[in-house]
Amino acid sequence: MYSTDLRTDKEKKSADQQILDDAELWNTFQARIDNGDTIEAKDAMPKKYRQTLIRQISQHAHSEIIGQLPEGNWVTRAPTLKRKLILLAKIQDEAGHGLYLYSAAETLGRSRDDMVADLLSGKAKYSTIFNYPTPSWADIGTIGWLVDGAAIVNQIPLCRCSYGPYARAMVRVCKEESFHQRQGYEIVTVLARGSAEQKAMAQDSLNRFWWPSLMMFGPSDGASTHSSQNMKWKIKRHSNDELRQRFIDATVPQAEFLGLTIPDPDLKWNEERSSYDHGDIDWDEFWAVIKDGGICGKDRIRARRAAAKDGIWVRAAAEAYAAKQSAKERVA
């Protein structure tokens, strides 16, 4: 229904002819990347570059859309009217991020309908973090603090990604994520400074979300299939482990400031590296959540399928309205 592929049919055909799959043309493309050029939608590009971007950007879009669900769980139960308004605004921001990202991916030639179909059929991935439940109000604070915090660390470098439409979308997304992170940290601060029960609620939430937040950065570098090529193409600017370490180093002092304990007995400041050493991440859990959807995967997809079904009449009405408008314009 919606398409932001900016190319005309003729341009699409000529870009197809130019798919840069032989070595010499890959080199030409690589030289542009090395030169710091920004690649735009109408530029010729290797098929693999296009495909990897469609994969990453659509997964990212799906994460933003599915990411509304754990927070949506608390809209009707937010403790005050002010908290409810802030939460609603944040969830709407996440929807907006999903839409910019689907639009950025569409410039590469895949329609939003097709990408959403992949999500609803269970074919497409989205971030594992959103398959964890949010049973307490503290989880809303922890999501802002840790999940948006991790998202910022991962996404700031994406503002300099080689693909222009993705990089530009990321600038606004990161500004909004920054507000989200602060509001989450503020919720956790209030709880950590509140009654013993409230502090325990904040600690329990940190205990449940710490390790899944570290998994958001993807598998360790040795197991990351896409990193090496994506770093050559400047889609990625830093490895998964580098960004994870950056997040840990920034977040540990924030937890200490609140008097909360990071649930990692092996966490230790390493003077030599000027960085924290940390315990082993349970990669079996990570891969199991990807494969089976973890605790909430089935519910998440069920909720999106219901939303797609309930929204059929809205999309039909929008299409009918658009058709009427363009008929009117033709007459005028």
When asked if residue 99 is in the footprint of ligand FAQ (CB under 6 A), the reply is no
Residue 160 in tokens: 């300099």
Amino acid occupying residue 128 = T
Member of 64, 106, 139, 264 binding ligand FAQ (CB under 6 A)? 64
- Of 44 and 235, CB closest to ligand FAQ: 235
For the chain, the distance separating the N- and C-terminal CA atoms, rounded to the nearest angstrom, is 25
Q: What is the closest distance, in whole angstroms, from the C-beta atom of residue 70 to ligand FAQ in the complex?
A: 7
When asked if residue 147 is in the footprint of ligand FAQ (CB under 6 A), the reply is yes
When asked if residue 125 is in the footprint of ligand FAQ (CB under 6 A), the reply is yes
**Nearest-CB residue to ligand FAQ?**
67
When asked if residue 48 is in the footprint of ligand FAQ (CB under 6 A), the reply is no
Residue 198: C-alpha distances to residues 59, 76, 148, 193, 194 (Å): 35, 20, 22, 8, 6
Q: Where does residue 81 rank: exposed (0-12), middle (13-18), buried (19+ CB within 10 A)?
A: exposed
Residues sharing a CB contact under 8 Å with residue 293, sequence separation 6 or more, in sequence order? 131, 300, 301
Amino acid occupying residue 89 = A
Q: Which span (3-11, 15-23, 54-62, 270-278) binds ligand FAQ, by CB under 6 A?
A: 54-62
Beta bridge partners of 267: none
Residue 24 in tokens: 């010499």
- Of 260 and 294, CB closest to ligand FAQ: 294
Q: Which span (5-13, 53-61, 133-141, 318-326) binds ligand FAQ, by CB under 6 A?
A: 53-61
Beta bridge partners of 270: 275
Q: What is the closest distance, in whole angstroms, from the C-beta atom of residue 130 to ligand FAQ in the complex?
A: 7
Residue 76 in tokens: 């009707």
Amino acid occupying residue 227 = S
When asked if residue 93 is in the footprint of ligand FAQ (CB under 6 A), the reply is no
When asked if residue 184 is in the footprint of ligand FAQ (CB under 6 A), the reply is no
Q: Which of residues 240-299 bind ligand FAQ (CB under 6 A)?
A: 240, 290
Member of 46, 149, 165, 219 binding ligand FAQ (CB under 6 A)? 219
When asked if residue 56 is in the footprint of ligand FAQ (CB under 6 A), the reply is yes
Q: Which span (52-60, 73-81, 191-199, 313-321) binds ligand FAQ, by CB under 6 A?
A: 52-60
For residue 141, count other CB atoms closer than 10 A to its CB: 26
Residues sharing a CB contact under 8 Å with residue 262, sequence separation 6 or more, in sequence order? 206, 210, 251, 252, 255
- Of 87 and 260, CB closest to ligand FAQ: 87
Instruction: For residues 162 and 87, give the distance between their C-alpha atoms in angstroms, rounded to a whole number.
Output: 33
Q: Binding residues for ligand FAQ, per CB under 6 A? A: 55-56, 59-60, 63-64, 67, 94, 125, 127-128, 143, 147-148, 151, 154-155, 215-219, 224-227, 230, 236, 240, 290
